[in-house]
Structure 1
Amino acid sequence: MLILPETYLARMQTLLGDEYDDFIQSLQRERHYGLRVNNLKITTEVFENQSPFHIEKVQFTSNGFYYKKEDVPAKHPYYYAGLYYIQEPSAMTPAELFPIEEGDKVLDLCAAPGGKSTELGAKLKGTGLLVSNDISASRAKALLKNIELFGIGNSLVTSESPERLATYFSDYFDKILVDAPCSGEGMFRKDPNIIKSWQPDSNEAYNSIQKQILPYAAAMLKPGGYMLYSTCTFAPEENEQVIYHFLDEHDDFELVTLPDRDNFSRGQTHWAGGEAFDMEKAIRLWPHKIRGEGHFIALLHKKGHHQEMYKPYASKTKEKVYEDYTAFEKAYLTCPFDRRRLEVIKDKLYYMPDDIPSLKGLRILRSGLYIGELRKNRFEPSQALASWLKPDMFKQITCLSSSSEDVIRYLKGETIRTDGDKGWHLVTVDGFSLGFGKKTNHMLKNKFQAGWRWM
């Protein structure tokens, strides 16, 4: 049973009125477990048909499923193949409702650990650009892993403050997601430890942080672009009041009506502290109305139009520098990379996104797709490349079954036996890429990245 602070309960009773008892009862029930399918690698329909878990569709998302606690999807080879992201169902909603289009330049400003970024990247379908940022360097490392596991190559992963990022990307992005730091009241049932850190003044403290972040995000959005603001808290101080304050100071922005879905509630204008803006265009998710936790979501449009100025990437690296990679590419890849976008940075080879500004001075964890490392007289392909590749893009494949002992041995970093020619092999599970191995005699030397291995 959740033990909640008395001051929190009193405030929720005032907010919810007749719905308060239903809300409290919902928090005492078992939480809901969810996963979201990676449509870069598998369609929702195919996953539903071949899923090894007890799954049920999340009705307010296009690719989300509930699973049973005993399924433990993080301990299945499909997780290591990046076929899904384990995510609380209500947290799937912001990226679900954001109207991302192919070719967009998208920023996820507060992105770690990557639940929403991975869906934004999947929606881009390998086009445009995804910049995933988190100010915390340690959290950004987890973000990077999830971006690479999902096979998102058209990306930059950064660890910067919104203020510094804004100096590089003025009027640059088509879409910006601000999943703002918040008091986390909507996740009390999912993670009771959050209750311990909640204080009566938490809402005002986060209100100040959120108000500081949004103007920097606004400066990075093109005229005509869209910004989606979300939190996982119930407090109006962190939701309607933040949006009201922002709109009051930015008359070049307007609220956009978000669609109704299964048992969604609307934002509340009378909670905003003023009547100038219609907060019912925003939505709220409540745990007593949906099978999930809690979220607030508001979509903002920046008025005006932007003249697009496209600048293709022009590599500064001469092809001779990566000639060992060229030999690897000819031997193994069926789809060669565009030479103008291949860049060597400190002996590492990247496939850079098109149309990016100068990034000198930014804290960057990953620039584009990390293809591999140039070592003395040889090239070593990366785990990120393996996750990005489709099996038909590589000439030598070692196929493993998700039910075999060999796939677990491979994921643990062990050597396995395999047929085929010597050299590099892309290891797959049920036809989905896992990682690399290098065959000598009948044995495949394991190249699955150490930090990703089955524990």
Structure 2
Amino acid sequence: MSALEGTLDDSDGASEADADLRRSLAAALGTVAISAEEFAAFSAALLSRHRNALRYRSEIDRPDISLPVRPVDWYSLGYQCTDPDVRPSRTLDYAAGDYFIQDAGSMLALAACQADAVPERNRLICDLCAAPGGKSSALLESIGDGFLLANEPIKSRIAPLAYNLARTGIDRYAISSLDPEVLHTRLGGVFDLVLADVPCSGQALLGRGKQSLAAVSPAQIEHSALRARRILAAAIGLLRPGGRLVLSTCTFAEAENESQVRWLLDKDGMAPEPIDRLAEYASDDSGCSYRLWPHRHRCAGSFAASLRSDIGAAVAAEPASGKKRKRREKPERLPDELGDWFGTAPQRSQVAGAVIRCLPEDAPSWAESISVAGPELAYRTGQTWKPSHEASLRRSGALRGVQSIEVDDSTARQYLSGQPIACGQTGWCVVRHRGRPLGWVKASRGTGKNHLPVAARMDVGVG
């Protein structure tokens, strides 16, 4: 029994179910330091719903933010909207990709990854359990001339991950869908940073109704901790010498958080990598573990830890054995229209069924061999090729739409609702609002036919 369990008073009028929940929570916290008085506030806040925060792009200055906001203390690009009547997901700025919406607690891991700082080197980053893409998109926005591998083992979760990465307008990534152990076997120790946002019991999701009270059961916690250790063992193997591992969860159980860090530090070659600016959120004496609490920090809560690999030499990937090498197929001819749409033909493209993907020329040599999705350039319906929505959002890289049309607020709202708009050009044009890309129209005779995907359409409010 934890020290906290012995201080709980079941005679305060709480229902039997509430008393059971508090006892289970106290047991889950283990030796984490929290007083009985504060525990009462924590257990109440845990079941409350907290508003999401806004994570802005680094190029957006505070004076340019049109919403009433206050800063998120632990992440310099994070803000919380202070007006409960404002819907940040129904603004032109959101539609244009100026910010992403996520819980402020999830930004703790981003702070540990230093995703809000200019990288000192071009990092090769792996997000090991990447869907739905809130953290991956932040890592991609900070990538500079580096490269991100967003790995999501569950194939059904690839679509939202791909959509969120596409919204960044950056093409320096690939998406894989491999078990972490298989990924380690394929690549070995090559990454400067691995983010392991491991599956967990999800206790921080209770207030959103996305998790049941089984999240605090000992059986669920033990199951989650064991599964996470298998993933973390693979994560260590993916690090280059001196590479960093960031562990992240959305739970409060010590067995899934601080205990995992102690287990990692017991392994040869792993050392704490403290983040000075997160010192006030330290949760133990390891020097590298941090917590956010729902009753203290106006968020659902989260855990993050930062470690470094001091292994002297990179672990090489194991050579494939016993498998027949696939016969190399003749590459499919790329459509001539690519030059019309983008001004040039891609130098490093991959035709995957009815989709053309295009990676930067300096992407890692292994990227195509393990990717199941990535920066799309075009797609085919029947025998007709069309430019992909993702390609219209491109803000960097060599391949961006040649033709574009700048629209005002009213026309942007009209376009985002799925309607055609006036357009004096001919052919495929990128619709831009204050220079920010929104999507394609195909223009003819003064009208731009709307090609915004249904999933990207929205009713944007006025003002």
TM-score, structure 2 length as denominator? 0.81
Change (3 A) 1:52 1:260: closer
Structure 1 residue 240, shift from structure 2 partner: 1.3
| Distance in 1 separating the partners of 2:415 and 2:228 | 44
Q: Is the 8 A contact 1:264 1:284 kept in 2?
A: no
Q: 1:252 aligns with which of 269, 290, 298?
A: 269
Q: 1:8 aligns with which of 19, 24, 40?
A: 24
Shift of 1:119: 0.6
Query: Are the equivalent residues in 2 in contact too, given 1:134–1:159 (CA < 8 A)?
Result: yes
Instruction: State the shift of 1:377 in Å.
Output: 8.4
Deviation track 1:199-249 (CA, whole Å, cap 9, x = no partner) reads 23221111111111111111111112111111111111001111222332x
* Equivalent position of 1:227 in the other structure: 245
Per the alignment, residue 273 of structure 1 pairs with none
Q: 1:33 to 1:328 in 2, by over 3 A?
A: closer
What are the superposed Cα offsets for residues 296-329 of structure 1, whole Å, 9 maximum, x if unpaired? 21111111456899xxxxx998796443312433
Partner Cα separation in structure 2 for residue 182 and residue 175 of structure 1: 21
Equivalent position amino acid for 1:341 in 2: R
Q: Is the CA contact 1:158–1:365 (under 8 Å) kept in the aligned structure 2?
A: yes
Taking a change above 3 Å as real, the CA distance of residues 324 and 282 of structure 1, as seen in their structure-2 partners, is: same
Per-residue deviation, 1:99: 3.8
Q: Which amino acid aligns with 1:59?
A: D
How far residue 264 of structure 1 moved from its aligned partner, in angstroms, is 3.5
1:140 and 1:230 map into 2 onto residues whose CA distance is 20
For residue 69 of structure 2, what is the amino acid of its counterpart? I
What are the Cα deviations for residues 235-278 of structure 1, in whole angstroms up to 9, with x where unaligned?
Answer: 11001111222332x211111112244x8332325xxxxxxxxx
Which residue is 2:365 aligned to?
356
Supply the distance in 2 between the matched residues of 1:131 and 1:93 (Cα, whole angstroms).
Answer: 20
Letter in 2 for 1:285: L
Distance 1:316 1:57 in 2: 53
TM-aligned CA deviation for residue 174 of structure 1 = 1.2
| Residue of 363, 366, 388 corresponding to 1:382 | 388
Name which of 341, 346, 361 aligns with 2:348.
Answer: 341
Contact 1:287 1:294 in 2 (8 A): yes
Gaps in structure 1 of 5+ consecutive residues: 270-278, 310-314, 331-335
Question: 1:91 maps to which residue?
Answer: 106
**Per-residue displacement from partner, 1:422-446 (whole Å, max 9, x unpaired)?**
1221101232100010111111011
1:14 positional shift = 7.1
- For 2:396 and 2:191, the matched residues in 1 are separated by 29
For the residues of structure 1 that align with 2:250 and 2:367, how far apart are their CA atoms? 34
> How many percent identity over aligned positions?
25
Closer/same/farther in 2, CA of residues 282 and 396 from structure 1, 3 Å limit = same
CA contact (8 A) 2:127 2:196 kept: yes
SS at structure 2 position matched to 1:267: coil
C-alpha contact (below 8 Å) 2:53/2:80 kept by paired residues: yes
Aligned twin of 1:297: 304
| Code of the aligned partner of 1:451 | A
Do residues 192 (structure 1) and 205 (structure 2) align? no
| Counterpart pick for 2:236 among 210, 218, 221 | 218
- In the comparison of the two structures, how many residue pairs are matched? 420
Q: With structure 1 as the length reference, what TM-score do the two structures score?
A: 0.83
Structure 2: runs of 5+ lacking an equivalent: 1-13, 317-327
Does 2:425 correspond to 1:421?
Answer: yes
The CA deviation string for residues 114-163 of structure 1, in whole angstroms up to 9 with x for no partner, is 111011001113x2211111122222211111001121311111222112
In structure 2, how many angstroms separate the alpha carbons of the residues matched to 1:32 and 1:412?
26
